[in-house]
Amino acid sequence: MAATLSLTQLSSGNPIYDKYYRQVDPSGSGRVAAADAALFLKRSGLADLVLGKIWDLADSERKGSLNKQQFFIALRLVACAQNGLEVALKSLNVAVPPPKFHDTSSPLLAGGVVIDVPWVVKPEEKMKFDSIFDSLSPVGGMLTGEKVKPVLLNSKLPVDILGRVWELSDLDRDGMLDRDEFSVAMYLVYRALEGEPVPMSLPPPLVPPSKRKKPSVPPVMPLLPSPPSVKDRSSSHAVIKKKAVKCVFLFLLFKQWVVTPADKAKYDELFSKTDGDLDGLVSGPEVRDIFLKTGLPSATLARIWELCDIGDIGKLTREQFALALYLINLKLTKGLDPPQSLSPEMIPPSDRQNIKQNNAANLAADFSAIKELDSLSNEIVELQSTQGCVCVSVCEACFLVDASVRRHTTALRHFSSRSGQS
């Protein structure tokens, strides 16, 4: 559907879309690189999880870059998210105001906040949140994700919601929460428990006064600016590069698949010929001849099967079959052995969501015995005693796939019985 929408339809005829596009493609190359798109879209103030979904929908060809129409789709989806609509292709047909992007050098706050906007966290709430904060034994005035995680999971809110709470609260993106950031997290959790939606971006009144941009004060005497030193220029360059790398990592960690569309089409054709019972799956016996004809040792083929049989069901889906042939081709053409575990970009797209959901469910189940958040103050000591076994932050739980879900299988039986044929 998205591919049929024209630029005029996507932009609703608003020239601001073209203006935004020229900022990311000033040379008119017709493509927007991932780093440029990531840095620009981050200025929307939306959470990384939301931006990742927007990227996934816009980069439909999985090329790691966007053409003009795809960039317009990304802009339109940003506008949808900013106006409380679902981030989905069906939302492209809904009339929304153009997206808003802020010009800011700070990762904390897009565009700054008026300094006299009162903080929505009331003094009595702040005292309550500070008491919880102090009970969690902060170090240097900071709480790690490891210490905050049980508190968030105690709310019984969905893990994807808690991931957004973490993102919105960790204003300086250092993987820890200070006293004010923790108050933001608790405020969002309590409001979510009351049925209020967690926002996609942090509203200005929710930003703690300590995190707000101070208005710049002009110097008493006009001074000529000194040219930046080589050290300053290289340092600035490094910061920009670091931001770009971080944004691209967040966008593409689970987005780009190693199997190219051209190879996927070729492998799909072979899959269709191999799937004799047309059940959408191929078994070991069905693919044995294809695998053995490669001339690779049976142990190597068994290892590849084990890696690709992600669900441990003894069969491969269409995408898993394509991944298996990709790994076989890597060994044949480049001599690269199968990895110990699949890297994020190797995991087939259809398996990624299932893995993340399973991990989230397992993560929540580990803490199912913790009492409700309202009784948290009385349970802090018990929580602290259990924190020694917690080794992954909530943020990590929402972004990282645990490679250990692929247990060792009996894949060798599919090939070793006929290893002499190779």
- Cα–Cα nearest to 137, from 392, 393, 383: 383
DSSP H/E element including 282: strand 282-283
Model confidence at 416, in pLDDT bands (50, 70, 90)?
Answer: very low
Give me the amino acid identity at 204. Answer: P
User: For the domain with range 121-211+358-399, which CATH number is right: 3.40.50.300, 1.10.287.1260, 3.40.50.720, 1.10.238.10?
Assistant: 1.10.238.10
Q: Is the pLDDT of residue 365 over 50?
A: no
Quick check: 132 and 125 in contact, CB under 8 A? Answer: no
Model confidence at 4, in pLDDT bands (50, 70, 90)?
Answer: confident
- Over residues 178-197, mean pLDDT: 92
- DSSP conformational letter for 28: -
- Cα–Cα nearest to 212, from 114, 105, 118, 103: 114
Q: Is the pLDDT of residue 357 over 60?
A: no
Better-scored residue on pLDDT, 384 or 308 = 308
Q: Are strands 65-66 and 142-144 parallel, antiparallel or unpaired?
A: unpaired
Give me the CATH code for the 2-93 domain, please. 1.10.238.10
Model confidence at 116, in pLDDT bands (50, 70, 90)?
Answer: low
- CA–CA dist 79, 16 (Å, integer): 12
Structural domain spans, the chain:
2-93, 121-211+358-399, 261-347+406-421
Model confidence at 3, in pLDDT bands (50, 70, 90)?
Answer: low
Q: Is the pLDDT of residue 178 over 90?
A: yes
- DSSP conformational letter for 174: S
- DSSP conformational letter for 229: P
Give me the CATH code for the 261-347+406-421 domain, please. 1.10.238.10
pLDDT in tens, 121-163: 999 999 999 999 999 999 989 998 888 988 888 888 888 788 8
- DSSP conformational letter for 158: -
pLDDT in tens, 24-83: 888 888 888 777 788 788 888 887 778 888 888 888 877 778 899 999 999 999 999 888
Q: Is the full-model pTM beyond 0.85? A: no
Q: Note whether 121-211+358-399 and 261-347+406-421 share their fold.
A: yes
- Over residues 243-256, mean pLDDT: 45
398 token code pair: 């929402």
What is the reported pLDDT for 406? Answer: 36
**Termini Cα distance of the chain:** 47
What is the reported pLDDT for 127? Answer: 93
**If you average pLDDT over every residue of the chain, what do you get?**
74
Better-scored residue on pLDDT, 307 or 230 = 307
Kindly report which listed range (68-77, 244-253, 262-271) carries the lowest average pLDDT score: 244-253
pLDDT in tens, 226-244: 444 444 444 544 444 444 4
67 token code pair: 């053409």
- CA–CA dist 207, 296 (Å, integer): 58
